[in-house]
Structures are given as structure tokens and as C-alpha cells.
Amino acid sequence: MTKRIFRLIIGLTTIGILLSGCFGDGISIPVGDGESIKIGTDEEDGVSFEATDKNGETVSFNASSDGEIPEDFPDYIPFPSDFQVNATTTITENGEKGMNVSYQTDSATFEEVWDMYQSFAEDNNYEEITSMTSNDYNTMLINNENESIGITAFAEENEDGNNFVTVNIVHLKVSEESNQEE
């Protein structure tokens, strides 16, 4: 069910944005066998999709570019002193919530940003699952028994020759049910 729903979500994104702008609370599209997709937009939450299967289980997706970190994004994950949020996404399925925050900063160098995240991982006893580093691109996946965090940083330069760093943080909180299944 999940693959089919996500394919529908991707295919309906553009249509959903257009249609939900016409219908205040969004629209609900039945897709058969008691399954449905609800598509909506608003200024606070951005674009949202919620898929429900015939058993009543839901998968939700929210994307926003309002410049704010979602309230329920973990506050212990560090950010530089000055940064601009580009986009956020949240996906919830079967008690697991995945969140993504993408931001840019010119208040710290590429090396300073990467050192901040490496120190965070070491200081908080995360296990490094994988990592890759290069001159202008670093990525790592860290986890503990309750969560996984993926961090990717890019060193970039704008048209004026000024350097900045783009960072993408993916956070997955694992439900207690998922931990018990393992």
C-alpha cells in the first residue's frame, strides 16, 4: 500500500497544490477499498498529504518553506548561530516520524559546521554508521537505540564569490513498537 500511495502523492503534488488552493481545508480523494488521500495547503503548514488505508492506518507528509524549524524537531541537534531554513519535510508512518530540515549559513565555515556535527555525535555517544568526506561535501549517518540522524553539508559559493554552507539534517525517531520488533 505504501509504495502505491507515495507514487500517487508524487503524481498528485502539482494537482493537489492547485486544487487545495481552491478548497480551503484541502480535498480528499478516495482511491478504492476504503483508502483515501487528503491533500491540503495553508500558510502555516505548507503542503500536506495524508493517506489512509482500508485498516485506518495513515501515512502523512508535510512540506514547508516558511523559514522555521518545526516545533517538534529535536532541540538538542545543534545549528550555527545564524542560519536560514530553506525547507522542511515531515513524514509519519506506523508510529515513526521522519523529519528533514535544510538550511544555509554564512556565519560559519564548512569546516566549523562539520566539526560542530562531529562533536555533537561524539559528545552524545552516537554510533557512526557511515560517513564520507571530501573537499566540499561531507555526510554521515549516526544512530542510537531511539533515533537515526543523517547530516550532509555542502560548501558553496554564490555569484558574488561569497562562501556559504548548505546543510541537510534528516532525523528519524524510532517508535517503541519498532524497537520491540527487532
pLDDT attached to residue 20 = 40
- Single pTM value for the model: 0.69
List the chain domain ranges. Answer: 1-64, 65-177
> Residue 84: which region, alpha, beta or left (left: phi > 0; alpha: psi -120 to 50)?
beta
Which residue from 41, 38, 42, 29 is spatially nearest to 58, judged by alpha carbons? 38
CA-closest candidate to residue 71, choices 57, 83, 85, 58? 85
Q: Over the stretch 76-90, which tens digit does the pLDDT of each residue have?
A: 999 999 999 988 888
34 vs 94: CA distance, rounded Å: 18
What pLDDT was estimated at residue 25? 55
Residues of the chain under the 70 pLDDT cut: 1-32, 34-52, 58-65, 175-182
